[in-house]
Amino acid sequence: MKRFNNARAFQAVLISLAMAGSVTLARADIKDYEFQLVDQTVKKGDAIISVRLVRKRDGKPVPNAVIFATRLDMAPDGMAEMATKIAPMPGTESGVYRFKAAVTMQGRWQLSIGAKVQGETGTVENKLVILVQQ
C-alpha cells in the first residue's frame, strides 16, 4: 500500500513539473512584438500600406493577429487633425497586414495600430511614420 501511494505521489509531482514548465515556456511578453512598415514610402492618392507584425526575439512574422485599432493622420507634420479613413485588405503573406487609405497630401503620415496576438495577454501598439510622395 505504501509503495502504491509513493508511486502516485511521484506521478503527481512529475505532472505538476511538466505543467509548470509548459506554462512558463509557452508565453512571451506582449512587448516582444512590434509592427514594422513593409514600405517606408507610398504614392499620394489611393495607397496600399503594408505592415508586418514580428516577434522581436527572432524576427519571425506573427500571423492571425486581430487588428482592432487603426488611425492614419499627419501628426508628424503637426497636423493631427488631418486624418483619413483606412480600410483593411486581404493579406498576401503570413504576418503581413494590408490597408487601403486615401492620402491626399504629401508629407509624413502616422499610422497608429493596435492588435491582439493569439495566445498573449495585452495589446501590441505602434505608431509608424510613412512618407507620402507625389
- In angstroms, rounded to a whole number, what is the distance separating the alpha carbons of residues 4 and 81? 73
Partnered with residue 2 across adjacent β-strands are none
Beta-carbon contacts of residue 62 (< 8 Å; ≥ 6 apart)? 33, 53, 54, 55, 95, 117
Tens digit of pLDDT at every position of the chain (134 positions): 555 455 565 565 556 555 554 444 445 688 999 999 999 999 999 999 999 999 999 999 999 999 999 999 999 999 999 999 999 999 889 999 999 999 999 999 999 999 999 999 999 999 999 999 99
- What is the three-class DSSP state of 78? coil
Which domains does the chain show, CATH number per domain? 30-133 (2.60.40.10)
CA–CA gap between residue 51 and residue 130 (Å, rounded) = 11
Angle (CA) 52-57-61 rounded to 5° is 25
State the sign of the Cα–Cα–Cα–Cα dihedral 97, 100, 105, 110. Answer: negative
Residue 25 CB contacts under 8 Å (≥ 6 apart), including other chains? none
